[in-house]
Amino acid sequence: MSGTAVMTRPRYDSGVDTPPDDFSSGSAGLGAGFARGDDAALKAAYDEHGAFIYTFCKRALGPEAGADVTQEVFLAAWKARERFDPSRGSLAGWLVGIAKNKIIDVHRRAGRRVTETELAFESDETTPATGIDQLADKMLLADALTTLPPRARQVLELAFYKDLTHQQIAEQCDLPLGTVKSDIRRGLQRLRHHLETADV
C-alpha cells in the first residue's frame, strides 16, 4: 500500500510534522485508524511510536540492526493491521509484541543467546525470550506511565517504586486518602489497557 512509503528510514527526532487532529499524540483514534488501514494513521503511528520501538530494538540488537528491525516491525504491523483490536490493548503494546518476536527471530537466525550486557539490564535469566520479555515489560511500563496525568503518575510511582502505603502517599502529596486510592485505581486501569499486547 502506498502508505508504506513514509518509512524510508527511521526518524527519531522530535521535529516531525504534526499528524492530523484525529491521530494526534495519545489519540484513541490512532489505533482505530491504523486498524482500518488509514495511510495517515500509519505515518502518525510511526511518528509517535518509532523512537520507542527503535530504543527497544537497539538495546536488544545494537543501533544498525535495531534500525532495520524497527522498519520490519512497522511493515509487519501494517500488513497485519486487521488483526489489531484497539479495544484489547494499546497500539504501543501491540507493536512491542511484534518487536519481541522480530528480535527473537534475529537471535535465533544467528544462533546466539541474549546476554544481560547486551540488554543493558540485570536478569537472572539467560534465554532470549525471557530477557527480551523483561526488557519489553520495563520499557512498556515506563512508556505507559508517561500517558498518565502528572498527579496519577506521581502517586503510582510512589506506590510501586518507593513502596509507600496509601496513607504515606496521601501525607507526602498532601492529598485526601480517598483521592490517592481513586488515582491508583484509575491509573492501574489505564496502565493495564496500555500494557496489553497481542502477537502477530
Q: pTM value? A: 0.58
Q: Which residues contact 60 (CB under 8 A, 6 or more apart)?
A: 66, 103, 114, 118, 119, 132, 135
Q: Which residues contact 64 (CB under 8 A, 6 or more apart)?
A: none
Read off the C-alpha cell for 57.
Answer: 530494538
Alpha-carbon span 4 to 42, nearest angstrom: 8
For 43-80, how does the pLDDT look when each residue is reduced to its tens digit (9 = 90+)?
999 998 999 899 889 888 899 999 999 999 999 999 99
For 92-144, how does the pLDDT look when each residue is reduced to its tens digit (9 = 90+)?
889 988 998 899 889 888 776 544 334 433 333 333 445 676 777 777 777 77
All structural domains of the chain: 2-147 (no CATH), 148-200 (1.10.10.10)
| Residue 138 amino acid letter | K
Task: Name the average pLDDT for the chain.
Answer: 76
Specify the pLDDT at position 124: 36
| Residue 106 amino acid letter | V
Q: Residue 22 half-sphere exposure, CB side, CA atoms within 13 Å?
A: 11
What is the chain's alpha carbon radius of gyration, rounded to the nearest angstrom? 18
DSSP-derived letter for residue 20 is P
Specify the pLDDT at position 131: 65
Residue 113 CA, chain-centre distance (Å), reads 23
Specify the pLDDT at position 27: 53
